[in-house]
A and B are shown apart, each in its own frame.
Chain A
Amino acid sequence: MKGINLENLNDEGVESLPSKERRQFLQFCLSISGVFLGGSILSLTSANNAQGALHSGKVPVVEFPYSPHYTMVIRQNHCIDCERCLEACRSTNNVPAHGYRTNILERSIPIAQGQRERAFMPILCNHCNHPPCVRVCPTQATYKDKTNGIVQMNPDKCIGCKTCMAACPYNARYFKEEDRTIDKCNFCFDTKLKESGGKITACAAACPADVRIFGDLTDPESDAYKLIHAPGNVLWVLRPETDTLPNVFYMDT
């Protein structure tokens, strides 16, 4: 939408807008954002009604396939790049110096002519509902955990073809030469998550600014659930054009 068109419109104010109309507008916005989140979250919003019209037949998901359905919400503007999450990940999951399971990218976002805003964007495996890495693996060495949706690795089956690395749109995998297998984030499934009874990952626990909010999409008491459902919160996923339906969401609050 061009700014010039907006300028030509008369400001009618919101005072005269009936609350029903406001609610409908909010509902519509949530529907739209739900669609662009990638589909897996559609049932959380009022998007079910809008699927037929807006989703163009693209993988409509009406309920969560996993329970618990682990997710992570990244509050991007809270991140100060202290890298404690990276250190916690390394020490908890025995990540060698030459690789990483999670990283922080520095962004320089253009906000106006000649002006840019600095932001730090943590990245990790998105545990996609349609993971291309799982699709290409010839021996099921990497697979989608049927219980919790985590994209897991079975190191013993890895033949080292690295096709999953080539297929991952998020650069979330590396070859761990020490174990002769692909290594990746598994939400600390066998380490911190196990210790905490499924409550938190090492990176989320180490973050001093509450950037990484780990949780369960099926648990209304989970912080991640609350953030995703809070009206007015705008969330997005990385590289939505790849249709991978990620379970890591980003927001600015």
Chain B
Amino acid sequence: MTFYQKATALPSTSMNRVLIFVVLALISGIGLSFGIHSMLVGHDHTFGTTREVPWGILISPYVFFACLSTGLCIVSSLGQVFGISTFRPIVPRTVFLALITMATGLMCITLELENPWRVGFYALLSPHQFSNIWWKTTIYSLYLIFMVLNFMSLTLKMEKRAKVFAIIAFVAVTMGNLNMNSDMELLGARGFWSENYMPLYFLSLSTLTGCAAILLFSWIGKIFSGQIPETKDDTALKATGKLFIVLLLAILYFTGVKIMGGFFPQFSKNPEAMSLLVQGDFALNFWIGEVGLAVLFPLALIVVTKGENSNILALAGASCLIGVFVLFYDLVIVGQLIPHYSQYNVVDLPKYYSYSPSLHEIMITTGAIFFFLAAFILGEMLFKKIYDS
């Protein structure tokens, strides 16, 4: 509440909004300039990735924002596509959030590519119909276009047209999400994540992050516009909170499966990676990030407050988003750390490969996160009336 009181006590709200936006955009610009530098000089000189670990931290924000966008689209579809009236009030903000999160995700993957300028040509001129990456990128790009059209229709009060675009976007993003999982699963040659539960896990995680983001950013939006966060009357947020609890319990179950795989090899298709995650070098990430911040802490907060307090719901959402970001980092990196020839008694072969993100990678990731925050603030300034309507 102190932050809220301070924020609303500032003399000129509009000037402060612009100032906040400028600061966020500036930080984003600084971060992303590292990406441009990397593109010019080559990733070999600026990234921490290697021949053995070719995917670095930048894949994590891509997966995170793409899944977050999926979740936001699913929750917005509850109101817009499936006609559940309780969720309708949060549809415009959720659609906008889904739009900017996907844009952020695609920006991250663009900066992760060595030759992104070739994508435009060869994705069209030489598409590979069996490549999940091709399908995923194409579907996500189309999804982004349909979400833009959806949001434009909402702003123009063309509800029927908006619904059509929302249905197409919903189908597209669900397909994209399954492709994201297949993309990782295909890399089973390196002990990646090919567990049977993964498609459902990805979809549940996506919806969970979508709920978390709605709880957090709706709260920030209200703080930003000087409103008092309501604690009892906001039925849409309360309903999102309930969905959030159900999904937390689902993810708790999947986390339990991961723990089993980490301690008992017979329960996992990639026991070395699972062991590294649950009881190896990544155990801190797993227990604090994936178990504590992503699931247990938000669950405890909501249980204690019975899901009635929007401030606490927002805090739970923030905690969950941080935890899931750590989860996606682990998901991308850990599977790559198992050496290719580990079963061949190779002399001087490390037990695990190593990877640490470089300054450039961290700055690009930071830039992407601040890009999203700046876009969110811009949305709060430009579309407040649409959100409230």
Contact = CB atoms under 8 A, between A and B. Distances in A.
Interface string A107-139: 111100000100001010000000010011111
A139 B127 contact: yes
A158 B118 contact: yes
Contacts of B362: none
A161 B42 contact: no
A136 B134 CA distance: 8
A158 B115 contact: yes
A169 B126 contact: no
B122 A180 contact: no
Nearest to B44: A177
A138 B55 contact: no
Contacts of A168: 189
B187 interface: yes
A170 B52 CA distance: 10
B31 to A, nearest CB: 21
Contact of B347 (A108, A138, A161, A180): A108
A99 interface: yes
Interface stretch (B88-96, B337-345, B367-375, B376-384): B337-345
Contacts, number: 135
Contact of A132 (B115, B126, B186, B336): B186
B133 A140 contact: no
A137 B123 CA distance: 10
B55 A162 contact: yes
B113 A132 contact: no
B54 A180 contact: no
A193 B44 CA distance: 30
A132 B187 contact: yes
A105 B341 CA distance: 9
A38 B49 CA distance: 32
Nearest to B119: A159
Given A105-B346, A157-B118, A242-B189, A166 B123 contact: no
Contacts of B42: 177, 180
Contacts of B45: 177
Given A132-B186, A166-B336, A180-B115, A138 B133 contact: yes
Contacts of A80: none
A139 B115 CA distance: 12
B340 to A, nearest CB: 4
B345 A110 contact: yes
A159 B118 contact: yes
B340 A170 contact: yes
Interface string A83-123: 00000000000000011000001111110000010000101
A137 B131 contact: yes
Contact of B130 (A121, A135, A169, A242): A135
Nearest to A161: B113
B133 A161 contact: yes
Contacts of A162: 49, 54-55, 114
**Interface residue range, chain A:** 35 or more
B51 interface: yes
A139 to B, nearest CB: 4
A198 interface: no
Contacts of B55: 162-163, 166
B190 A106 contact: no
Given A161-B113, A163-B133, A165-B51, A136 B186 contact: yes
Contact of A121 (B112, B115, B123, B344): B344
Contacts of B190: 166-167, 169
B132 interface: yes
A158 to B, nearest CB: 6
A64 B283 CA distance: 48
Given A121-B344, A171-B52, A136 B131 contact: yes
B114 A107 contact: no
Interface string B126-169: 11101111100100000000000000000000000000000000
Contacts of A158: 114-115, 118
21 contacts: A106-B347, A107-B344, A110-B345, A121-B344, A135-B131, A136-B132, A139-B127, A140-B126, A159-B113, A160-B113, A161-B113, A166-B187, A166-B336, A169-B340, A175-B44, A175-B114, A177-B42, A177-B44, A180-B114, A239-B340, A242-B189
Interface of B: 42-45, 49, 51-52, 54-55, 112-116, 118-119, 122-123, 126-128, 130-134, 137, 183, 186-190, 192, 336, 340-341, 343-349
Given A105-B349, A106-B348, A239-B343, 15 more contacts: A98-B44, A105-B344, A106-B346, A107-B344, A107-B346, A109-B345, A132-B189, A137-B133, A139-B122, A139-B123, A157-B126, A159-B115, A160-B118, A168-B189, A181-B115
**What 8 A-B pairs are tightest by C-beta distance, nearest first?**
A160-B114, A138-B134, A169-B189, A139-B122, A162-B54, A165-B54, A138-B133, A106-B347
